Amino acid sequence: MIPAVLPTYAPADLAFERGEGVYLFDADGRQYLDFASGIGVDALGHAHPRLVRVLQEQAAKLWHCANLYRIPDQERMAERLVAASFADSVFFCNSGAEAVECGLKMARRYHHANGAPERYRILGFEGAFHGRTLATIAAGGQAKHLEGFGPPMDGFDHVPFQNINALRAAIGPETAAILVEPVQGESGIRAIDADNLQRLRKTADEFGLLLFFDEVQCGMGRTGKLFAHEWAGVTPDILATAKGLGGGFPIGACLANERAAAAMTPGSHGSTFGGNPLAMAVANAVLDVLLEEGFLAHVQAMGNALKARLEEVVAAAPNVFTEVRSAGLMIGLKAVPPCRDLVERLRREGLLTVAAGDNVVRMLPPLIIEEAHVEEAASLLARVAAEVA
Ligand SMILES: *Cc1c(COP(=O)(O)O)cnc(C)c1O
């Protein structure tokens, strides 16, 4: 008999009752070090006092009114994102896929408004992940996500990862934009080199394309800058973000510069829930913390510390792990045995991680971790690595 919950997931037989900071607790009170963060969502850990307070205060005032009226906290959040980034304008939605979807529509609409409606195709790298809607599985282009869902939505082309020559060769008269994740997450923490991001910007400019970054996973401080592309000193025209943005409240955002956004006139796009007062109160509170003096420097420091410790563990267990891939607190351990087995063993030891593509054990700890959590994770990992070896 089919489970009452549509069986699209295969969850571990484990449920949590509460969370506090970097730890989760099951009903028996057993403690887990959460280096999964709900797939990079719980950026400020669990039950962050400031987020709890803001959510409770807003819950007693106003949850939702739709975008029929002005939403002051939405305006404030947009203004702050604009001030802190390349962007001039922001659309709020409720998930990563929706944020990407907005950007895809924007890229097409831009060319339509600029007298080139034939330009609608989006070019990206193989191994991409942009979400699970019909448009975003086509944008990702992965066979395992497309299978059985009919003809993939038209308008997406893919070239091998980081192959800029192949990308340039694939640009045609119908190409509208280049869409990439500056750090591929689901495919196993694969960062695009800074010089290649710069070449993507130059290529987009040369051919009149928009440059669209999917920072749903690598954005919002995850790599130690507010957005991952800042490390390369390039700016996109469009950017999708979500995961960490709401600290656990479902929020997505599509940021754009004025040129890219100009054609998105009233009625061209929308979301009933997007940017509602409850979500925006929380998002502003998340941003308060991310933008606090020294916070991103802390993320960088913890990223370096974690990388250094994990490299020691990996070096000591070469038949279990072969490589540490990292971008701030976005970490991948390339595994020899099946990564899912390792994730399960780690969970049994009390360390939560996430399996990723390319047989990688992924760590996306809350950005608030301290040295002690780095040590704890490294020693749990070392124990499991020794067991498996
Ligand atoms: C998770 C993710 C998405 C999809 O986000 P949802 O909130 O699951 O729709 C899109 N792009 C990237 C890079 C992601 O990591």
**Residues of the chain predicted below pLDDT 50:** none
pLDDT score at 287:
98
Q: Which amino acid is at 324?
A: V
pLDDT at 331: 98
| C-beta of 19 in contact with ligand 1 (< 6 A) | no
φ, ψ of residue 330 to 5 degrees: the values are -120, 105
Distance from Cα 186 to the centre of ligand 1, integer Å:
9
Is any ligand 1 atom within 6 A of the Cβ of residue 95?
A: yes
Q: Is 339's C-beta closer than 6 angstroms to any atom of ligand 1?
A: no
Residue 137 CB–ligand 1 contact under 6 Å: no
Kindly report the number of other CB atoms within 10 A of residue 140's CB atom: 28
pLDDT tens, residue by residue, 281-340: 999 999 999 999 999 999 999 999 999 999 999 999 999 999 999 999 999 999 999 999
Phi-psi category of residue 47: left, alpha or beta, with phi > 0 → left and psi -120 to 50 → alpha: left
* Residue 150: predicted pLDDT: 98
Average pLDDT, the chain: 98
In the sheet where 23-26 sits, what is the strand order?
A: 16-20, 23-26, 31-34, 351-352
Residue type, 249: F
Which residue ranges form the domains of the chain, and what is each CATH number?
16-34+293-388 (3.90.1150.10), 52-290 (3.40.640.10)
Q: Does 224 sit in the ligand 1 pocket, CB within 6 Å?
A: no
pLDDT computed for residue 350 by the predictor:
98
What's the DSSP call for residue 290? Answer: H
d(Cα 129, Cα 356) in Å, to the nearest integer? 11
Walk across the sheet containing 175-180 and list its strands: 89-93, 252-256, 238-241, 210-214, 175-180, 121-125, 156-159
Nearest protein Cα to ligand 1, atom 6: 96
Q: Give me the pLDDT at residue 47, please.
A: 98
The overall pTM is greater than 0.95? yes
Token pair 């913890």 is found at: 302
